[in-house]
Structure 1
Amino acid sequence: MVDDPVAPGKVPQPKGLGLKGRGMQVALALSVTLNLIVAGLVGGAMLRGPHGPEGKDREFSFGPFSDAMEPAERKALRKDILQRAPGLGQMRQEMRANMDKVVAALRAEPFDPVALTTVMEAQQARLTGQISVGSQALRDFLLTMDTAHRHAFADRLEDRLKHKDKH
């Protein structure tokens, strides 16, 4: 006779492959928290306005790449991005509306994790599209440089990276 601990008609469940009860709630809370932090950082940067402390466009900042660009280059890249995606001008309004939906989902009773996830996935899709447009424009900008310009840009980029490492 075979010693079978599983009752007839029940499928054995592998142990250690799932979260139940409190563990699932903690995992969901951590996931939502992380997503909100990312959304808050991105959304906050977008909602603050177009200009950073030095008057640079925040909406079109590429970190050290932007820092290494001449003002005319940043302006040309911004123009290129706006031509590639003319709808980016509505970005702040959409981000604000999206954050309002996040707040509403967080306050809803009963709380609906699916509604929150849906809002955040839509936000992520929009941001991914914006990042793609910006990345393509930056790549095309870099590809158009002649050798001397490319080397000078690489020098400025390296200087900015070294400077940031010191701070």
Structure 2
Amino acid sequence: MRRRWKWVLAISLALNLLVASALVGAWLAPGRGGPDGPRGSRGGPPEIGALARGLDAEAREALRDALRGDGPVGEARGRIARGELAVLAALRAEPFDAAAFRAALDARQSLQGALATRGFERLAEVVAVMDPERRAAYADRVEAALSRRQPR
């Protein structure tokens, strides 16, 4: 009888872990909610976020594909991670070196600026192929999003 309960408990634990893993995976999965919110707000330069969220699903996918296919943008995650590590290292350095910290921040700002520029270029390419009706609907969605952000 005890052996049977061990198996029941083991199976129960396995099922609980499976459910917990599925929930965490769904929470972190692209295209769903997650630590950074919906997919529209994840990844890519934040400067184009509001404009990208206004795109319809097809255009948003075209923008993602264009950004992934853009070498410097597609390889940016590694450079961003290295930049974050440099900032953290400068913050933790003893004695603190303000010039090294500023240099790490400047490097991040330069990278983000370059990525934002490329993001805007890819966005312009996606919008350029829209027909007038689709572009007008896009403008309406962007305008609505911007008006929601205005302070009252």
- Common fold, TM-score beyond 0.5? yes
Tell whether 2:46 aligns with 1:59: no
Q: Give the equivalent residue in structure 2 for 1:127.
A: 112
Contact 1:77 / 1:137 at 8 angstroms: preserved in 2?
A: yes
Q: Give the equivalent residue in structure 1 for 2:67.
A: 81
What is the TM-score with the length of structure 2 in the denominator?
A: 0.63
Aligned positions of 1:150-161 closer than 5 A:
150-161=135-146
CA 1:130 to 1:49, structure 2 compared with 1: closer, same or farther past 3 Å?
farther
Aligned positions of 1:9-158 closer than 5 A:
52-56=36-40, 58-60=42-44, 62-83=48-69, 85-158=70-143
Give the % identical residues: 28
Distance 2:108 2:149 in 1: 30
Give the gaps of 5 or more residues in structure 2. 1-27
Q: Give the equivalent residue in structure 2 for 1:40.
A: none
What is the TM-score with the length of structure 1 in the denominator?
A: 0.58
Count of residue pairs brought into register by the alignment: 119
Q: Give the equivalent residue in structure 2 for 1:18.
A: none
CA 1:128 to 1:50, structure 2 compared with 1: closer, same or farther past 3 Å?
farther
| CA-to-aligned-CA distance 1:28-79 (integer Å, 9 cap, x gap) | xxxxxxxxxxxxxxxxxxxx98654333361136333222211111010111
Q: Give 2:136's aligned amino acid.
A: H
Distance 2:30 2:98 in 1: 32
Aligned-residue offset at 1:138: 1.3
Q: Which has the larger radius of gyration?
A: 1
Q: Give 1:67's aligned amino acid.
A: R
Give the gaps of 5 or more residues in structure 1. 1-47
Q: Give the equivalent residue in structure 2 for 1:7.
A: none
- 59-68 or 146-155, larger mean C-alpha shift: 59-68
Contact 1:50 / 1:57 at 8 angstroms: preserved in 2?
A: no
Question: Which structure shows the bigger proportion of residues in helix conformation?
Answer: 2
SS of the aligned residue for 1:78 comes to: helix
CA 1:100 to 1:50, structure 2 compared with 1: closer, same or farther past 3 Å?
farther
Aligned-residue offset at 1:88: 3.0
RMSD: 2.7
Distance 1:137 1:161 in 2: 21
